[in-house]
């Protein structure tokens, strides 16, 4: 709060300056003017959930409901999730039956198997999907996987394809760049990747050719001038300050990001994450539940997987299962002044704090760095001044912090809650503790997830390929009795083994043998980013991709998911189905079909370790040959792309 006056002063001077400066679009062609004219009426288009009571970015006080919101202990799933699961599990029956049949396991009648367990939810397979962090690379590679898994994608239900897996899943989790993907799909009413990629008239969604430094474009035409774009963002964030809330660089970052991810005027400043729970298709249990993941980190400290407090955002709640918090807050009312679990009887409730872009920004705070590359960008001087002051206030080493203030868990669970005495909850990028795949919500034993498809687009190696580091981090955490709190995880070998045995270059199953685990844990289908048809190892901090590059990386992710349409292994779709059914077979005492045994022999990590140090840099070869994408694509309408590996020197930390 110290610098509030200064910040407000500079905002005021910016407003003044923008009022007297006539800003012209970069290219005042008739198309630009037409696009601007179109942008006006769009403000009237109401999508499903711009429900912040302020009508804009700022949170607002509201009358508390008769049932005043409370913080709950993490002893069970929320009643909301439990009620929703009854609908959702039932809704997965038909798509899963259809999907398993199409995956065509030899000598196995999936339809009669599923009919046999229809009325026995505890026997049904329970599927979770997880998309890692790694900036736009992770968004695009993860999008390829979700496109392949989505029965709405053209041709995704043809022979050899895996469309329908998404419709069969109970949960979809994203973190950082993977959180942009999940957040974009869900804030746009569960749009398909194909639709988000192709956009629509007047929409700037997924147009990564215009970097967040420039502002949104529609079909290549800039809608707002860069100056107008930044002044709009500044006005929005200052409205939150004016309403009495501390802000951080994450607020600016979340706003900027939203222009690319949320298909609504100005990136939908009044869209909340909790409003996803009000979407009819979510309420009816017709679509999976989304999670975004963040870590708790106090200013001036660092974290690793062994001592991080991991927070999950669902449409219902924000909270953590870790003993270091062990509580959940109703997301819609986060921002209210909770103390010891209650909003004081003389206090009012607040809504609109959980702004969708702010939640996505909170899961990806490492990318605040983007906005701090201020010498190289078009960010106006006044905004740079604000950043400088925010950094002075919090300290340079805290430029990645999202301030969730007031702390919903203030004076709650005093004995073990690390933040019980803190008025603010500071959240950071979900990958900062090394767990760059958002497995956390899916490992909670109360969720009973059987199988997780874990898409890893981490940049662990010099040339931005994954090497299993994220799984190693989650495995290590599962061995610490204090922090794991009941979450078992399959054994995971060291990273040298990943590279030496090629476990980071093709799909690998971990935890196939349920009796070799320390507790109930899902089977993990690890799907590492690798070059199938395009170099998808672009740098985490590259902020700009033309449509050709974007589509090629999405297409590559599609090939990762289908093993190049089954050309690398015609049995792959059946093997995916075997992974889905494995725990269910155990529970129903079903003999494992022969083809599944073959699959498990081929894809399960069998405990072999080769920890010999890896010499030189890991430079994988194309797995399916670089193809002419304009001829081969179903998810892509592009020409060939060539991204040179040498241009992709690693800039980054662990993402």
The residues of the shown chain that bind ligand NAG, judged by CB under 6 A, are 45, 47, 67, 79-80, 87, 90, 94-95, 151-152, 154-155, 157-158, 167, 188, 191, 195-196, 199-200, 203, 205, 263, 277, 301-304, 306-307, 316, 323, 326, 340, 374-375, 384, 411-412, 414, 416, 460-461, 467, 469, 480, 482-483, 485-486, 490-491, 495-496, 499, 516, 605-607, 614, 618, 634, 654
Taking the complex as a whole, how short is the minimal distance between the CB of residue 236 and ligand NAG, in angstroms?
A: 20
Taking the complex as a whole, how short is the minimal distance between the CB of residue 595 and ligand NAG, in angstroms?
A: 20
Nearer Cβ to ligand NAG, position 246 or 495?
495
Taking the complex as a whole, how short is the minimal distance between the CB of residue 373 and ligand NAG, in angstroms?
A: 9
Nearer Cβ to ligand NAG, position 372 or 641?
372
Tokens 């660089």 sit on residue: 249
Nearer Cβ to ligand NAG, position 117 or 306?
306
**Rounded CA gap, 60 and 589, in Å?**
54
Q: What are the φ and ψ backbone dihedral angles of 454, each rounded to 5 degrees?
A: -110, 105
Token reading at 391:
């950094």
315 in Cβ contact with 48 (< 8 Å): no
DSSP state at residue 129? E
**Rounded CA gap, 136 and 261, in Å?**
11
Q: Which helix (H) or strand (E) holds 549?
A: helix 547-562
Taking the complex as a whole, how short is the minimal distance between the CB of residue 242 and ligand NAG, in angstroms?
A: 26
Nearer Cβ to ligand NAG, position 239 or 476?
476
Taking the complex as a whole, how short is the minimal distance between the CB of residue 237 and ligand NAG, in angstroms?
A: 19
223 in Cβ contact with 35 (< 8 Å): yes
Nearer Cβ to ligand NAG, position 107 or 414?
414
Taking the complex as a whole, how short is the minimal distance between the CB of residue 498 and ligand NAG, in angstroms?
A: 7
Q: What are the helix (H) ranges across 226-377?
A: 226-242, 249-261, 280-283, 356-362, 368-372
Q: Apex CA 443: angle with CA 441 and CA 446, to 5°? A: 85
Nearer Cβ to ligand NAG, position 152 or 587?
152
Q: What are the φ and ψ backbone dihedral angles of 467, each rounded to 5 degrees?
A: -135, 25
Q: How many CB atoms lie within 10 A of CB 101?
A: 17
Nearer Cβ to ligand NAG, position 26 or 517?
517
Contacts of 289 (CB under 8 A, 6+ apart): 81, 84, 88, 170, 171, 172, 282, 314, 315
Tell the burial category of 136 from Cβ atoms under 10 Å away from its Cβ (0-12, 13-18, 19+).
Answer: buried
Nearer Cβ to ligand NAG, position 76 or 90?
90
Nearer Cβ to ligand NAG, position 20 or 46?
46
**Rounded CA gap, 275 and 53, in Å?**
12
170 in Cβ contact with 494 (< 8 Å): no
Taking the complex as a whole, how short is the minimal distance between the CB of residue 240 and ligand NAG, in angstroms?
A: 23
Nearer Cβ to ligand NAG, position 298 or 568?
298
Q: What are the beta bridge partners of residue 339?
A: 342
Token reading at 293:
């993941």
Nearer Cβ to ligand NAG, position 4 or 652?
652
73 in Cβ contact with 413 (< 8 Å): yes
Tell the burial category of 482 from Cβ atoms under 10 Å away from its Cβ (0-12, 13-18, 19+).
Answer: exposed
Residue 551: how many CA atoms within 13 Å on its side-chain side? 21
DSSP state at residue 515? G
Nearer Cβ to ligand NAG, position 204 or 225?
204
Taking the complex as a whole, how short is the minimal distance between the CB of residue 484 and ligand NAG, in angstroms?
A: 8
Taking the complex as a whole, how short is the minimal distance between the CB of residue 651 and ligand NAG, in angstroms?
A: 13
**Rounded CA gap, 81 and 79, in Å?**
6
| Pairing assessment for the beta strands 349-351 and 60-62 based on DSSP bridges | antiparallel
**Rounded CA gap, 460 and 655, in Å?**
7
Nearer Cβ to ligand NAG, position 7 or 243?
7
Token reading at 506:
């093709």
**Rounded CA gap, 139 and 174, in Å?**
9
Taking the complex as a whole, how short is the minimal distance between the CB of residue 102 and ligand NAG, in angstroms?
A: 11
Residue number closest to ligand NAG, CB atom: 634
Contacts of 645 (CB under 8 A, 6+ apart): 463, 535, 537, 619
271 in Cβ contact with 49 (< 8 Å): yes
Backbone conformation region of residue 92, classed left if phi is above 0, alpha if psi is from -120 to 50, else beta: alpha
**Rounded CA gap, 274 and 332, in Å?**
5
Nearer Cβ to ligand NAG, position 243 or 557?
557
Taking the complex as a whole, how short is the minimal distance between the CB of residue 377 and ligand NAG, in angstroms?
A: 11
Taking the complex as a whole, how short is the minimal distance between the CB of residue 536 and ligand NAG, in angstroms?
A: 17
Taking the complex as a whole, how short is the minimal distance between the CB of residue 76 and ligand NAG, in angstroms?
A: 12
Taking the complex as a whole, how short is the minimal distance between the CB of residue 411 and ligand NAG, in angstroms?
A: 4
């Amino acid at each position: 709060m110290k610098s509030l006056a200064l910040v407000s002063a500079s905002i005021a001077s910016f407003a003044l300056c923008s009022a007297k400066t006539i800003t012209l679009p970069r290219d005042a062609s008739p198309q630009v003017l037409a696009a601007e004219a179109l942008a006006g009426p769009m403000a009237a288009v109401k999508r499903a959930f711009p429900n912040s009571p302020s009508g804009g970015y700022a949170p607002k006080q509201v009358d508390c409901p008769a049932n005043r919101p409370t913080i709950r202990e993490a002893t069970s799933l929320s009643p909301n999730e439990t009620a929703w699961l009854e609908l959702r599990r039932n809704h997965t029956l038909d798509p899963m039956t259809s999907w398993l049949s199409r995956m065509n396991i030899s000598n196995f009648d999936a339809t009669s198997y599923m009919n046999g367990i229809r009325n026995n939810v505890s026997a049904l397979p329970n599927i979770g999907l997880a998309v890692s962090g790694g900036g736009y690379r992770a968004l695009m590679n993860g999008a390829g996987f979700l496109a392949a898994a989505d029965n709405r994608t053209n041709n995704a239900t043809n022979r050899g394809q895996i469309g329908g897996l998404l419709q069969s899943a109970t949960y979809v989790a994203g973190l950082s760049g993977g959180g942009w993907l999940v957040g974009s799909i869900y804030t746009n009413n569960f749009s398909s990747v194909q639709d988000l990629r192709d956009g629509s008239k007047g929409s700037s969604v997924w147009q990564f050719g215009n970097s967040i430094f420039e502002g949104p474009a529609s079909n290549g035409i800039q809608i707002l001038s860069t100056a107008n774009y930044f002044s709009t963002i500044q006005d929005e964030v200052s409205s939150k300050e004016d309403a009495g809330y501390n802000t951080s660089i994450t607020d600016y970052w979340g706003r900027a990001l939203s222009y690319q991810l949320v298909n609504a005027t100005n990136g939908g400043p009044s869209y909340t994450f909790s409003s996803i729970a009000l979407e009819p298709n979510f309420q009816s249990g017709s679509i999976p539940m989304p999670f975004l993941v963040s870590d708790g980190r106090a200013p001036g400290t660092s974290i690793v997987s062994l001592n991080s407090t991991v927070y999950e955002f669902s449409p219902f709640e924000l909270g953590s299962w870790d003993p270091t918090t062990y509580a959940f807050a109703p997301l819609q009312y986060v921002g209210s002044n909770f103390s010891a679990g209650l909003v004081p009887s003389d206090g009012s409730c607040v809504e609109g704090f959980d702004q969708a872009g702010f939640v996505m920004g909170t899961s990806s705070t490492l990318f605040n760095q983007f906005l701090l590359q201020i010498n190289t960008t078009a960010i106006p001087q006044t905004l740079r001044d604000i950043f400088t002051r925010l950094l002075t206030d919090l300290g340079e080493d805290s430029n990645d912090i999202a301030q969730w203030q007031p702390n919903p868990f203030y004076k709650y669970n005093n004995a073990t809650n690390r933040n019980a005495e803190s008025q603010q909850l500071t959240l950071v990028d979900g990958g900062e503790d090394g767990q760059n795949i958002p497995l956390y919500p899916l490992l909670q034993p109360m969720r009973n997830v059987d199988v997780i498809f874990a898409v890893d687009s981490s940049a662990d190696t010099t040339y931005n390929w994954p090497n299993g580091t994220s799984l190693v981090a989650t495995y290590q955490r599962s061995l610490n009795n204090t922090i794991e709190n009941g979450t078992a995880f399959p054994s995971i070998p060291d990273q040298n083994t990943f590279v030496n045995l090629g476990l980071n270059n093709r799909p690998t199953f971990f935890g196939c043998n349920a009796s070799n685990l320390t507790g109930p844990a899902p089977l993990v289908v690890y799907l590492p980013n690798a070059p199938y048809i395009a170099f998808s190892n672009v740098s985490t901090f590259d902020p700009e991709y033309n449509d050709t590059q974007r589509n090629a990386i999405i297409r590559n992710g599609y090939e990762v998911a289908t093993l190049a349409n089954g050309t690398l292994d015609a049995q792959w779709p059946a093997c995916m189905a075997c992974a889905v059914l494995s725990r269910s077979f155990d529970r129903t005492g079903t003999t494992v079909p022969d083809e599944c045994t073959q699959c498990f022999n081929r894809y399960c990590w069998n405990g072999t370790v080769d920890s010999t140090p890896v010499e030189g840099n890991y430079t994988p070869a194309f797995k399916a040959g670089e193809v002419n994408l304009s001829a081969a694509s179903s998810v892509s309408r592009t020409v060939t792309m060539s991204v040179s590996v040498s241009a992709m020197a690693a800039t980054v930390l662990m993402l």
